[in-house]
Amino acid sequence: MPDAAGSRMQAVLDCAGNERYTLPSGLEVLVRPMPGYAAAHVIAAARFGSIDLRFALAGREVDLPAGAAHYLEHKMFEDQAGDAFARFARTGANANAFTSFDRTCYYFTATSAVDESLDVLLDMLTHPYFTDETVEKERGIIAQEIKMYADSPDWRLITELCQCLYHSHPVRSDIAGSCESIAQITPALLYDCCRAFYAPANLLIAAAGSIDAERVLAACRRAGLDKAPAAPQPVRICAPEPMTLAARQRTVPMAVTKPCFGVGFKEAPLAPGDGRTEALYDLILCCICGGMSPLYRRLYDEGLVNPGFGGEVLRVDGACCILFTGESDDADTVIKLLQEEIEAQRARGVDREVFALCKNEKYGQLIENLECVEDAASQMADFALMGQTVPAQVGMLASLTPEDADAALQTILQPARMARVDILPDGSAAPAPDPEQETED
């Protein structure tokens, strides 16, 4: 593949047909050509999320208010010429973006004018434009978004659980911040964020579908992302987080028709790039309460939970927790049965047949994602952000054994590190506090 100077750029090709290029600027480009597909899906991801509240760049420390990464996501769509959404509309592309705990992703799907849409996407990321007026204009919009998420019981469960589990780690802050924190955001602060986290070496581009690597690399050349000098990498600063809980239990009244509950277990942080342990935890959750587990079938058949009940692993730099959430009119019974199932599997080991079924399900999900342009690009990006590839993930999944799960269960999901949150309809009586569930200092 020719680079900007006409020399050959070598692709790293994996057995899933995904191509990977690393440009001299440090920008990583991943492409999965899918002949016969009509659409192309392109993602540009910055390794910058809501937990990045304090960092050092070139010897200077910067403190950010909660919600800075999300605020920046909104403002990257605006430039001196107007609105990037309008430019995407002219190319016929469907574009959007999201911010999570550890990344910000911008993406579009298009069936035509893909090169023009690529130019719009990369121009956004390389030409930020902020003024006092444009930054101020966004405050009311984001404040409304914050209030909207505060009214979502599913989101409130996650936020409240993180605030119970963590004393100071920024995962306890809402991704969008608060109305008070976003009031502190200025153009200068947003430019600091761009310099630190939107440098080419901190970005990656993943594309799949009706597209090839030369078109993506040509767009990078047009945007000046191919030969840009490697910039200093930001150094994230995070205070040590103890393994104790900030609180054991919270009850939140909300305008809901059915009570919601969540329990969270604080676990030791995983090493950067340790996708194996995260995948193992995910398999353990499938064995405990996944759709093929005896516990799930019992809870569902007895009407104690609806199909939304389940567990998930939340893992970011410096924090890892396992969360179970759902709706139930009898949360006490659900949580009691969940704890009993955890202890039973801790004592006897995971069910070997269920473990094999869960592994096969995960294999199926990985392969299925390769056949959808949106999922293929997202999967490449997700694994690349963890320093992995799709084939490496398949091989890693194959290496996991029931014995690995049995060993992990001896240390994770410990009652001493469990917090509980209940969301009750306004006017409902709060559940009686467990004498062992008092708030910790």
pLDDT at 98: 97
* Tens of pLDDT, residues 84-129: 999 999 999 999 999 999 999 999 999 999 999 999 999 999 999 9
Q: How confident is the model at residue 440 (pLDDT cuts 50, 70, 90)?
A: very low
d(CA 313, CA 317): 13
Across the range 46-63, mean pLDDT stands at: 93
Least confident of 12-16, 295-299, 419-423: 12-16
Q: What is the mean pLDDT of the chain?
A: 92
Residue 427: is its pLDDT beyond 70? no
Round to whole Å and give the CA distance between 172 and 165. Answer: 8
pLDDT band at residue 391, thresholds of 50, 70 and 90? confident
Residue 73 annotated in active site: yes
18 falls in which pLDDT band (50, 70, 90)?
A: confident
pLDDT for res 6: 38
Residue pair 405/280 in contact by the 8 Å Cβ criterion: yes
Nearest to 179 by CA among 101, 54, 53, 67: 67
Which pLDDT tens digit goes with each residue over 237-253?
888 899 999 999 999 99
For residue 3, is pLDDT > 70? Answer: no
Residues of the chain with pLDDT > 90, as a percent, come to 84
pLDDT of residue 95: 97
Which pLDDT value is given to residue 8?
Answer: 44
- CB neighbour burial string for 256-279, b if at least 16 within 10 angstroms, e if fewer: beebbbbbbbbbebbeeeebbbbb
Please tell me the distance from the alpha carbon of residue 425 to that of residue 422, in angstroms, as a whole number: 10
What is the arithmetic mean of pLDDT over 346-357? Answer: 97
**226, pLDDT greater than 80:** yes
| Mean pLDDT for the stretch of residues 403-407 | 98
- For the entire predicted model, the pTM comes to 0.91
Name the percent of the chain lying above pLDDT 70: 92
Average pLDDT rounded to a whole number, residues 277-299: 96
Q: Coil, strand or helix: which one is 119?
A: helix
Separation between Cα atoms, residue 357 and residue 297, nearest integer Å: 15
SS3 of 59-99: the string is CEEEECCCCHHHHHHHHCCEECCEEHHHHHHHHCCEEEEEE
Residue 264 has pLDDT above 90, yes or no: yes
Is residue 434's pLDDT more than 90? no
> pLDDT tens digit string along 202-221?
999 999 999 999 999 999 99
pLDDT of residue 72 exceeding 80: yes
Pairing of strands 12-13, 60-63: unpaired
pLDDT of residue 232: 77
Structural contact between residues 110 and 155, judged by C-beta atoms closer than 8 angstroms? no
Task: For residues 398-424, give the mean pLDDT.
Answer: 97
Query: Quick one: pLDDT at residue 13?
Result: 61
Q: Is 37 a residue whose pLDDT tops 50?
A: yes
Rounded (10°) angle between helices 132-150 and 68-75: 120
Options 19, 28, 61, 73, the catalytic residue = 73
pLDDT of residue 441: 32
CB–CB of 320/268 below 8 Å?
yes
Q: Tell me the pLDDT tens digit for each residue of 321-337.
A: 999 999 999 999 999 99
19, 31 Cβ separation under 8 angstroms: yes
What integer is the mean pLDDT of 354-380?
95
- Using CA atoms, how far residue 286 sits from 147, 367, 391, in Å, is 33, 19, 22
Q: Is the pLDDT of residue 352 over 60?
A: yes
User: Tell me: the pLDDT tens digits for 151-186?
Assistant: 999 999 999 999 999 999 999 999 999 999 999 999
3-state SS record for 371-395:
CCHHHHHHHHHHHHHCCCCHHHHHH
CB neighbourhood size of 61 (10 A) = 10
Identify the band that residue 437 occupies on the pLDDT scale cut at 50, 70 and 90.
very low
**66 close to 174: Cβ distance less than 8 angstroms:** yes
Say whether pLDDT at 11 is over 60. yes
End-to-end CA distance of the chain: 59
**Rounded average pLDDT over 315-320:** 95
Residue 178: the pLDDT is 96
Mean of the pLDDT values across residues 254-268? 96
